[in-house]
Structure 1
Amino acid sequence: MSARRPLLRRLIPSPVLSIAVVAFWLVMSSSLDLGQLLLGMLLGVVVPLFAARLDREFARIGSLKPLPGLVCVMLWDILMCNFRVAAQVLGPERRLNPGFIWVPLDIGNIHGIAALTSLITLTPGTVSAALSEDRRHLLVHVLHLEDPPALIAEIKSRYEAPLMEIFP
């Protein structure tokens, strides 16, 4: 039994990632047939093996206390931004003021930065476009940019600050 455990650990270095890959594959394929399940399971074994070789910066989790609040803030922002974007898109085009802003980052953990970019992109009307080479600035495209300093402050307080507690 002890010889099997290391082999299993080598084949599946991250069970959570493997399960996530299989689940996402099944959702993306929109099919639950045996072929798609087997292909998803194959990907669930292969993808983490390559990810383990590429990613040498492991996620450290700090406090999970800010997570429920962050989820609530995110859901609220998605809801409200859907209405705002719908009004902007359906309104006169001349009222739109799209633009790019560079958001200075205080968070240094790459996993926290990835979560931040995902949260920004999930919010309708904003898209994370690029990360500077030194990981200190994030380029964000905004559908309607009125006050860049206020938007930067909002991103930092609503998303980055809680993520810094979660990913120290």
Structure 2
Amino acid sequence: MRRLYFLFLPVFLFVLWLVLNESLSSGQIALGVALALWFTWAASRLRPLHAKPRRLWKVIPLFLHVTVDIIKSNVAVARLILNPRPNDFSPGFIKIPLTMRDPHGLAMLACIVTYTPGTVWVELGDDHRLKLHVLDLQNEDDWVRLVQDRYERPLMEIFE
């Protein structure tokens, strides 16, 4: 399985090269193979840590939760912007304690939080507390539970 994973990037880059150049000439094929192999080698030198995800079936419910949350957040932010009332929303910062330590899981959590409209990952402190900016911060405990239970726990099951 490891060999198949290692072949994915060069094959993908090679096919992408041919599609972007719209040519199957022998020169483009040779250049595509050379560039795909070189870029794969160069990219492997830039990543000293390799992700070792486990329990990949947990990705499906996580993906569905994130998709639903993004859609709900888009609707909520659109309502706030299209129908602005001064007392309708209260932006603010919140600190959420995290127990996850895997850098790949933290990167995924940062992507999930930032992709959701109305929230921005501000910083991860030395005390492993996530500083999050929320456009409509009504109840801090709800946000802590949302991030910890809905996102962090499944990511820990996948990456740790």
Q: How far apart are residue 21 of structure 1 and its match?
A: 7.3
CA separation of 1:33/1:84 partners in 2, compared to 1, >3 Å: closer, same or farther?
same
Residues of 2 paired with 1:17 and 1:133: CA distance?
Answer: 34
Q: How far apart are residue 71 of structure 1 and its match?
A: 1.1
1:96 equivalent to 2:89? Answer yes
User: Which residue of structure 2 aligns with residue 155 of structure 1?
Assistant: 147
Q: How does 1:79-118 map to 2 (within 5 A)?
A: 79-94=71-86, 95-118=88-111
Q: How far apart are residue 50 of structure 1 and its match?
A: 4.9
Residues of 2 paired with 1:64 and 1:139: CA distance?
Answer: 28
Q: CA RMSD in A?
A: 3.2
- Structure number, greater radius of gyration: 2
Q: How far apart are residue 91 of structure 1 and its match?
A: 2.2
User: Which residue of structure 1 aligns with residue 61 of structure 2?
Assistant: 69
- Note the residue ranges of structure 1 that are not aligned, 5 or more in a row: 1-8, 27-31
CA separation of 1:72/1:54 partners in 2, compared to 1, >3 Å: closer, same or farther?
same
Residues of 2 paired with 1:86 and 1:93: CA distance?
Answer: 13
After superposition, the C-alpha distances for 1:19-64 in whole angstroms (9 at most, x for unaligned) are 77789x99xxxxx6419xx8x9858843x54553343222121211
- The TM-score, its normalising length taken from structure 2, stands at 0.74
User: Which residue of structure 2 aligns with residue 167 of structure 1?
Assistant: 159
Contact between 2:91 and 2:136, CA under 8 Å: does it hold in 1?
yes
1:34 equivalent to 2:21? Answer yes
CA separation of 1:55/1:158 partners in 2, compared to 1, >3 Å: closer, same or farther?
same
Letter in 2 for 1:114: A
1:124 corresponds, among 117, 122, 128, to 117
- The TM-score, its normalising length taken from structure 1, stands at 0.71
Number of residue pairs matched?
Answer: 147
